[in-house]
Structures are given as structure tokens and as C-alpha cells.
Amino acid sequence: MLPLLEKIYNLQNIHTLSKHEQIVLGIIEAIDSDVLKVGDKLPSINEMVAEIGYARKTFVKAYTELKERGLVESKNLKGYYIISKETKVTLKVALILFAFHSFQEDFYNTFRKELGKKYHIDIFFHHNNLTLFKTIMDNISRKYGMYVIAPIQENEVIPLLKKIPSDRLLVVDRHLKMPKDYSYITQEFEEITYGKLVELSPQIKKYDTFVLFYKENTDLPIEILYAFNRFIKDYGINGKVVEDYESDILKKGTVYFSISDTHLWQVLKDVRKMEYRIGSDIGIIAHDDNIVKEIAFGGITTISTDFEIMAKEAATFVMERNPVQKIIPTYLRQRNSL
């Protein structure tokens, strides 16, 4: 214990450091110099109070910061232990997404770039599976300084998220009705999708049928289904919902609206095979834009939010911790596929 205490005592002469910063930096120096190694137990808060004389809350604050950096882990009734030597990390962040779809890959890459090397990010995927989501939440509880979570839109999720203090949680992508002091940066689906379909109605009406690929109990936003049904009813369009794609579904005179990239790639594969012309024989609308959709077959029309903007805003929240409640704009990018 004495070498660790010496590290802290040596910092007491630096008057620009607060007491809790002296403790944090003293322990970091002890880790960097191998005075403390992974697996070593830190002195208890009571022991530190007795030896150094600072208030108990000062040591609680210091140990909490070390936990948030991912350097220390508290074990119930056993104390605090060193778990990492990555002392240059400012904060340890848990990022929970649906799956590694192309647009969520864009989100992660931008989020990672904006935060830089001083932030350690662990990424998890729940695949819209409530049991898996609960398991992830149990495993990461109290181990991170910040949580950025794309939640499953079910009421059972709210109590799990409320266990995280509001200043450490950011809800992204899908909106969930949380208490007013919680932050979010999300997208809106129903009204936006309906409005964009209205904008596209002149092109859609050139075709005989409008098909939406949608399967329940998946991670596809149900609000898009609501928007589609409203649109075909309000505008008198012959529309139908199809759960799974089969090659014999592809017919001339039809517009296909794909939320899932899997369905989109299947359609495009068969379009080439059947030598249909996109934009005249059949029409295609897709959700969530990316570079492939921009260039494939002369460009696919998309309805999409900007995930890079969402990621940049999320990174700013993590770094500055200022409360934010924002709906990211959704854009219609009209291309040759209609």
C-alpha cells in the first residue's frame, strides 16, 4: 500500500489538481509503473480515508471515475480490483445496436472516429431479441462510464434502461418513451415515411401494384408498415404486404418497397436474371441509404436518415455530457429506380 500512497502524496503539491484528481492520477501512475497490476486489489475506501484523510465522498468519486475509464471493477463485498492497464483511455463506452447492418456500420465507424483513441468502445448486438437484450444489460451493468443504446421498442425495456443514470445513457436510432430527463438522438418512422411516399406518389402511380416487404417479429420498424397502409388507403393504390421474397413475386408493373437489404439484394439479383428494366418495368424504393444503393443499377431511390449525423451527435453527447433530445431528419433521395 505504501508505494501507492507515495504516488498520491507526490501529487498533493500540485495545487491545480483537485483531491479526487490526485487520487485518480496517483492510481494511474501506480498502474503505469507496475506498482499495481491487473488483478491487484485497491485499498478500501475506509482504508484510504484513514491513511490520506480526505472525505469519503472524494474517494467514492475517484473510484467511480476509474471504473468509468474501465481500469477498475468493483466486486460486491470484495472491494475494487484493477482490470486493465489501458490508462490512456478517458472513458469506457458501451454501444448496443440491433445488428451490424450497413447503415449501423456507418454509425459505428463515424462514432469511433469522432471519439478517437481516448475512448474505449465495446459494441454489442441484440438482434431485436428481448432475452438477449436483457442478458447484455445484465452483463454490462455498472461497468461503463457511458451507454449508447438502440433499444427494442417494448415497454419491458424501459425499466432496464432506467437503471442507468440519465447523464450516462443516450438512446439512439429507435425512439422509446423514457422519463423527460433522459437524452435521445433518434429517427421518426411513421409520419416521415408517409410524407415521403406522398412525395413519390406520382411515380408510384405509374405502376399497377405497390408491394412492401415486411415481416412481423423482426427488427423492422412497425411504423413503416403503418405508414404504408395509410398511404395506399388514402391514395387509392393497389398495395399489398409480403413477408418473404420469392422469385415468382417479381412482376412487371410493380413497385417494391424494401426495408431490409436482404430483400433488396434478392430483387436486384432476379431483376438482372429476368432482364427487367428498373424504373420502367419495375420500380424499387429502399430504406436506409448507403454507397451501394447510390450507384447500383443507376441508383436506388431511398428514404433514409443520416446515420453519420446521428453518430456525430452521439459522440458529442459522450464527450460533453450535455442533455440532448433530437429527432434526426430523414431524407428522400430520388434516383433512377422509379
pTM for this entry: 0.80
- Number of Cβ atoms within 10 Å of the Cβ of 46: 10
- Number of Cβ atoms within 10 Å of the Cβ of 218: 14
The predicted pLDDT at position 141 comes to: 85
Mention the CATH class of domain 91-187+307-328: alpha beta
CA distances from 147 to 96, 123, 168, 306 (A): 8, 10, 6, 21
Does the domain at residues 190-305 carry the CATH identifier 3.40.50.2300?
yes
Which residues belong to CATH 3.40.50.2300 in the chain?
Answer: 91-187+307-328, 190-305
CA torsion through residues 111, 117, 119, 123, sign? positive
**How far is Cα 252 from Cα 232, in angstroms, rounded to an integer?**
19
Contact 260, 213 (CB under 8 A): yes
The predicted pLDDT at position 92 comes to: 87
DSSP annotation of 244 reads S
The predicted pLDDT at position 106 comes to: 86
Which residues belong to CATH 1.10.10.10 in the chain?
Answer: 2-82
The predicted pLDDT at position 5 comes to: 82
The predicted pLDDT at position 290 comes to: 86
Tell me the pairing of strands 146-149 and 91-97. parallel
The predicted pLDDT at position 143 comes to: 81
**How far is Cα 26 from Cα 5, in angstroms, rounded to an integer?**
8
**How far is Cα 177 from Cα 187, in angstroms, rounded to an integer?**
13
- Number of Cβ atoms within 10 Å of the Cβ of 56: 11
Q: What residues of the chain score a pLDDT lower than 50?
A: none
One CATH from 1.10.287.70, 1.10.10.10, 3.60.10.10, 1.10.3720.10 for 2-82: 1.10.10.10
- Number of Cβ atoms within 10 Å of the Cβ of 216: 9
The predicted pLDDT at position 183 comes to: 97
E strands along 280-338, which residues? 282-287, 301-305, 325-327, 330-333
Contact 39, 86 (CB under 8 A): no
The predicted pLDDT at position 222 comes to: 92
Print burial letters for 80-118: b (CB count within 10 Å at least 16), e (below 16).
bbbbbeebebbbbbbbbbbeebebbebbbebbbebbeee
